[in-house]
Chain A
Amino acid sequence: MRQQQFEAENQVLWDEIAQLMDDLQRSRSKRRLPHTLHLGFPDRYRQLCNHYALARSRGFSPALIDQLHGLVLRGHRLLYRQQGGWRWRVLYFILGGFPRAVRRNGGYFALSLLFFLLPALLMGVGCYLQEDLIYTVMDENMVAQMETNYDPTNERPGRSIERSSETDFTMFGYYILNNIGIGFRTFATGILLGVGTLFILLFNGLVIGGVAGHLSQLGYHETFWPFVSGHGAFELTAIVICGAAGLLLGHAVIAPGQRTRVQALREHAEESLQLVMGAALMLLAAAFIEAFWSSSTLQPTIKYSVATLLWLGVALYLMLMGREDHGSR
């Protein structure tokens, strides 16, 4: 069959498919063609693919092949796109998917915890015993700033004097920008053989442990520990989870096993994304608690009780939620 005959016979079908695809690209409520036509789309699309293959193998003109290629490309995108249902997926993720993902990657979590907790404990004890040790990880200005923040004479513990006039809302925004950003960076730099993640974990461990030890040694526990104990449940756990996600990426690059590096990276990236997104939600919760609860000037006993509940809650959530689905871990 010559090209012109082929075109004359099939032009109607191509026009119909183009129209149908225009209609399918509109949002559901704005579609004009009847639903039965939409149902016929996969069949017509396969017919179109057939024509495209014919046109190519018979050496029809480039312009015709381009035209059909364009139609097939549009059809391919329409037929195989994923859409909808994300609200339910978010809910299921929070209720079960996220804790399951954390448990599945318990090894990475443990390693991440080790790289965070060990330097924190060592630095904490060190700074408690040795007054000057804090200056090895922070400069003088930062130390002075931190000391005024938690000075028992400061009316709003946890905030610097200049910030004290700002509202809790402002701090909420600041914690989101800063803390979730740190979480994301902890994850992303894991792709560099895990080195970035380990560095961030280690550094944060040193600084956080150092600050805690230093302030306790100064006798500021009354202001420091009640302030950080509540949101710490979410914040510290989330940072460790982000670390686990980063290590997952790094592992794929260093030791892909039986797969190609790219293949391993893709699989691990999908898995680690669940960890990061869950951790981001936890950091959001932490920001909320830190801004509106931690900064309140309630009795330390009340704050410690709530903190205990929060830590317990986070631990139980991560250990138990999402187990009922067909015995999955």
Chain B
Amino acid sequence: MQAGVTEGRSIEQLDTLWRYEIPEGVLLDFRLAGPVVRACAWAIDAALRGVIYLVLVMVLVLLGGIGTALMLIGFFLIEWFYPVVFEIHNGATPGKRAMGILVIQDNGTPVTPSASVIRNLLRTADFLPFLYATGLVAMLINREFKRLGDLAAGTLVVYCDEQHERIDPPLAMARKPPIELSETEQLTLLAFAERGENLSIGRREELAELLVEQTGLQDGKAVDALYAYANWILKGR
């Protein structure tokens, strides 16, 4: 894994971002899902499975012998293939979906049926000796939070980055920043302008006032000045 920018290296090492270069030569970023969110997803799935078991038992017990047979086959399928069915369909079990995560191949493509079967059969080994202890240890000693099943299947669990509605920076007069800005600094200003409207007014002003030495401005005026600089970077002049 190569770090894109050397100065960002230390942040990338801390970050759980996983970067993959696709055949087209561009980098895709994935946010890896850690043990906690995956445990929550598993708990939701476990509850859901419990409900399905219960419904199966209640309905099929009425049918006698064949009903019992269907119930047992149902138990078998749920025990081993519940996650497989959902993962092949859309990459996530209901629990994962609720937590906003999904399974992908470690080349960024959707999980393949055989990989899904491998990672889910190997749950047995990850579960040992109790409650995924082996899987947790495996997840903690590699960079990609892979449990044994993920290692063998070549899969990753990542957050699904749903497309956010883009917020355009507030309209303001474009003004040239008083000093020459590096690329990272320009990006920081743009990020501030694009995300500022999501912050509370107090926080926005607090952030803008960090630059009081350069702008000499305070409160709302400091914020407006930064918006103006951001607009200048976007449009020029």
Contacts and interface: CB of A to CB of B under 8 A. Distances in A.
B125 A192 contact: yes
Chain A interface, >50% SS class: helix
Interface string A53-91: 100100111111011011011001100111000100000
Interface string B212-237: 00000000000000000010011110
Contact of B152 (A46, A86, A249): A249
Contacts of A172: 69
Nearest to A82: B112
A49 to B, nearest CB: 4
A167 interface: yes
A73 to B, nearest CB: 6
B65 A81 contact: no
Given A62-B194, A80-B109, A4 B25 contact: no
A111 B79 CA distance: 29
A196 B126 CA distance: 12
A276 B191 CA distance: 51
A239 interface: no
Contact of B72 (A61, A66, A173, A273): A173
Interface in B49-78: 64-66, 68-73, 75-76
Contact of B109 (A70, A81, A174): A81
Contacts, number: 154
Interface residues of B, number: 60
A9 to B, nearest CB: 14
27 contacts: A2-B234, A46-B24, A49-B22, A49-B25, A53-B26, A61-B190, A62-B191, A63-B166, A63-B167, A72-B22, A73-B161, A77-B109, A81-B110, A169-B65, A169-B68, A170-B66, A174-B69, A176-B73, A177-B73, A181-B79, A184-B124, A188-B122, A190-B125, A192-B134, A196-B125, A249-B152, A276-B121
Interface of A: 2-4, 45-46, 49, 52-53, 56, 59-64, 66-67, 69-70, 72-73, 76-77, 80-82, 86, 166-167, 169-174, 176-177, 180-181, 184-185, 187-192, 196, 249, 262, 265-266, 268-270, 273, 276-277
Interface of B: 22, 24-29, 64-66, 68-73, 75-76, 79-80, 104, 107-110, 112-114, 117-118, 121-125, 128, 134, 148, 151-154, 161, 163-164, 166-167, 169, 183, 186-187, 190-191, 193-194, 230, 233-236
